[in-house]
Amino acid sequence: MAFNDFFTGEIATELLKQLVSISRKSCLCKSTADNLITSIQELLPIIDEIKYSGVELPAIRQSQLDRFSETLRGGVELARKVLASGRWNVYKNLQLARKMEKLEKQVARFVSGPLQAHLLADVHHMRFETMERFDRLEGRLEQRLSSMKIGVGGWVEEAVKRMEVEEEASLGILGGVGLDLGKSKVKKLLMGRDDLNVVGICGIGGSGKTTLANEICRDNQVRSYFNNRILFLTVSQSPDLDQLRAKIWGFITGNEAMGYTSNHFVPPGKLQCEWGSGPRILVVLDDVWSLSALEQLIFRIPAYKTLVVSRFKFPTSVVNEVYKVELLREDESMSLFCHSAFGQKSIPPTADESLVKQIVSECKGLPLALKVIGASLRDQPEMYWASAKKRLLRGEPICESHENKLLERMAISVEYLNKKVKQCFLDLGSFPEDKKIPLDVLINMWVEIHDIDEEEAFAILVELSDKNLLTLVKDPRAGDAYSSFYEICVTQHDVLRDLALHLSNRGDVTERKRLLMPRRDTELPRDWERNADQPFNAQIVSVHTGEMREMDWFRMEFPKAEVLILNFSSNEYFLPPFTDDMPKLRALVVINYGTSEATLQNFSVFTNLANLRSLWLEKVSVPQLSNATVPLRNLRKLSMVFCKVNNSFDPSVLDLPQIFPRLSELVIDHCDDLIKLPLSICKVNSLQSLSITNCHRLCELPADLGMLRKLQILRLYACPELKKLPPSIGELVALKYLDISQCLNMRCLPREIGRLSSLEKIDMRECSETVSLPTSAALLNMKSLRRVICDDEVSGLWKNVGKAKPDLHVQVAERSYSLDWLDG
């Protein structure tokens, strides 16, 4: 049997199915079957991994794999005999049990011996072959930043563009002696010293360490030296080390683009081996806080280098050589501050030179402080500046460390914010460090707790962005469409997050408006438990842990809580019992940062959430939904991202209009087990936005989709198995926006689409199989259509329509490729 035929995985998958049945049926073989199931499940990711590699094997290794293939084939036959054997044939069952034990030993020997050797031997082959796969993958990725919501328009898009321009200008200023000197020194350590496996960049928070590391990664000489094989990972104070090790190992072996997340085959401990020469690789570990974490993330392999970015200087036995980031000189500080405060590199004639110099002096050469404080003073009167100077001069540090002094100085920029804007800034401390915050989660939270509408929330977002207090970024991952705020997320410098936490954690723990865990921990904070005998008055509660069982929680009362954010990293999670004691809860966010979907327990707490309006579930297995368990009468928005959802959509018990009678937005993104939408979704008359994105197995839409008469937004992005739209789509009389981009197998648009008189925009880029449109006469009935985004191959058909419809703009999508999304 040929190597590639074996590694299609069909034999192993068939055996696995048989073993599951044996485990349920046969008492004598249950233990052996369970052990085999574990071994085969661990083997399947490697089968998929090697399936794509195309590696040519020597004859001796080919024969080993052929023999193991025959072992598995025999295992399938044996499993069938076990299942066919009668319960009372004791002698035959004992014989079969012994054969099952022999099969278990044969599989275990192969997995622990020859297979590991094969993997290590294949690493170099897989590196080279993967570069070709990258080229193919890049061909299907396209950066996009569409308007985020009908009616809101592109002003947040403009804020993103403005921030990109500001960042480029800041880099131009920083690119003087300081940044250029740092780049030069670090490049020499990385490219000029073969004896250095691990190089470091260290400096205090806000000093520009990450900026320097990013500039090194973008440097043409560095990219050429490492043949573009550069991986940038953020570690943070509470890292998921197993996930990070799996990402690094996947990058080394060339499998990160194939979704390699299993940690079973990552070499344990500190890997140090001699494979000879090979392609150079650079892994950047940003924001490293502990030596113990760093040691687990370093792989000492020839031609492989690690760049460690940290506030701390680690021992030379671990980090061989370190460059310490220097603070900005006086002239550099002045240029950066003036750029943020005045939009130019020098003090304008109308400004008080002495006052400006005193404020710049108090920023102590820290780029982040100069940018944030400068932006906060922009366009303010002179009296405002004088008051800020006095506050800076008398700012008393909470201790003698430079970083805490920085927090006190930067607090000035927050104190002068409008009250509502300040509260929104402080809310950012509710999210884990160094993680992207989905814009939808943030906007929903602000709308619910600050009594503002979405337009005002956007305005606050833009103001915080303009003042450098957060960063708006485009997510290059095509189709990471978080609700209606398309491909936008928020990040925040860890010093600014520290500032938000510092300002939020003042006062008694029971009286704080925000009850926050600053970083991930194995248990809830002790001061929460000590005060659990009295109510907590927090409006926002944010928990960040690993796995939580029922016994790990204790009772707490939250009579005023309106937002609960549960961040965790585990395979199982018991929802907190104190959720019952949150009668005013309006927004619930559940995000798992682990490597696989977590099973949620205690889902019954939802029965008491009568006021819940927004629910965000990420990387969890959604339990079965029914009117008895989840009667969320006031829920407006439901988002399920990277979830297992198929079990929750049992049509025999699912009645969506009864469970969610007021649901207006439904998002299902990256849910790979979704095959069909439940029919009852067509009866949710309140639904205005439906986003089904990156669901690669979705093959059919309900025939009665047209019953959603209030639907305004329909996104079906990156659903490659979806071949057609139902004819009833013509009945969506309120539909304004349709996105079918990257629906690769959709061959045509139904003629009924011409009846969509309210449709304003269609996005159908990368629909390579769409070869036909309805007649021009039918399309001309779409009176409101103003914009079509499509590929060049289809643009001619639409331009023909445009000849009779002058107000129609046909945009040919430009291709721009990025793999930045692989960093997660």
pLDDT digits (tens, 9 = 90+) for 499-554: 888 888 888 999 999 999 887 888 899 999 999 999 999 999 999 998 999 999 99
744 lies in a domain? yes
Are the CB atoms for 133 and 52 separated by under 8 Å?
A: yes
If you ran DSSP here, which 8-state letter would residue 707 be given? Answer: G
Q: What percent of the chain has pLDDT over 90?
A: 23
Separation of alpha carbons 242 and 263, rounded Å: 6
Q: Is residue 733 part of a domain?
A: yes
| Angle separating helix axes 114-138 and 241-253, nearest 10 degrees | 80
**Where does a domain end: 290, 308, 324?**
324
Last residue of a domain, one of 112, 128, 155: 112
In a domain, 136, yes or no: no
| Beta bridge pairs of residue 285 | 233, 308
What is the pLDDT averaged over residues 281-304?
Answer: 86
In a domain, 97, yes or no: yes
What range does the domain containing 790 cover?
699-818
- Please check the confidence at residue 399 and state whether its pLDDT lies above 60: no
Q: Answer whether residue 184 is part of any domain.
A: yes
Asked if 185 and 296 sit in the same domain, the reply is yes
User: Would you call 779 helix, strand, or coil by DSSP?
Assistant: helix
Distances (CA, A) of 459 to 154, 214, 685: 12, 29, 31
Region of poorest pLDDT, from 37-46, 55-64, 742-751: 55-64
Q: Which of 382-391, 533-542, 557-566, 801-810 has the lowest mean pLDDT?
A: 382-391
Domain boundary, last residue among 94, 112, 130: 112
- Encoding tokens for residue 150? 């009908």
Does a structural domain hold residue 228? Answer: yes
Angle 186-190-196 (CA atoms, 0-180°, nearest 5)?
A: 115
Quick one: pLDDT at residue 130? 40
Interhelix angle 90-112/114-138, nearest 10 degrees: 70
Average the pLDDT over 80-95 and give the result.
69
Residue 372 backbone phi and psi in degrees, to 5: -70, -50
Single-letter amino acid, residue 569: S
Do residues 185 and 72 share a domain?
A: no
The pLDDT of residue 364 is above 80: no
71 and 202, same domain (yes or no): no
Highest mean pLDDT among 171-185, 645-659, 685-699, 776-790: 685-699
Task: Using the predicted structure, report yes or no on whether residue 15 has a pLDDT greater than 80.
Answer: no
Do 199 and 306 belong together in one domain? Answer: yes
Three-state SS at 473: strand
Residue 291 CA to residue 171 CA, distance in Å, equals 31
Are 232 and 311 part of one and the same domain? yes
Residues 188, 71: one domain? no
Confidence category of residue 307, pLDDT binned at 50, 70, 90: very high
Coil, helix or strand for 221? Answer: helix
Beta strand ranges found along 670-808 (DSSP E): 689-693, 713-715, 737-739, 761-763, 787-790
- Check whether residue 185 and residue 104 sit in a common domain: no
Check residues 288 and 83 and name the one with the higher pLDDT. 288
pTM over 0.75: no
* 103 and 188 in a common domain: no
Residue 475 lies in a domain: no
Mean pLDDT (whole number) for 239-260 = 73
What mean pLDDT is predicted for residues 277-295? 85
Residue 256 has pLDDT above 60, yes or no: no
How many domains, in total, are found in the chain?
3
Residue 145's pLDDT band, with cuts at 50, 70 and 90, is very low
Beta bridge partner(s), residue 514: 540
723 and 805 fall within a common domain: yes
Amino acid identity, position 815: R
312 and 189 within one domain: yes
Give the mean pLDDT of 302-327.
Answer: 85
Of the candidates 258, 182, 190, 178, the one whose C-alpha atom is nearest the C-alpha of residue 221 is: 190
Q: What is the pLDDT of residue 771?
A: 65
Residue 295's CATH number: 3.40.50.300
Per-residue pLDDT, averaged over 670-685, amounts to 88
CATH of the domain at 728: 3.80.10.10
Give the residue-averaged pLDDT of 695-718.
Answer: 92
pLDDT in tens, 470-508: 888 764 433 333 334 546 788 887 777 878 888 888 889
> What tokens does 644 get?
């297992």
Residue 27 pLDDT exceeds 50: yes
The answer, yes or no, to whether residue 349 has pLDDT greater than 80, is yes
Same domain, 288 and 206: yes
- Residue 440 inside a domain? The answer is no
Are residues 193 and 62 part of one domain? no
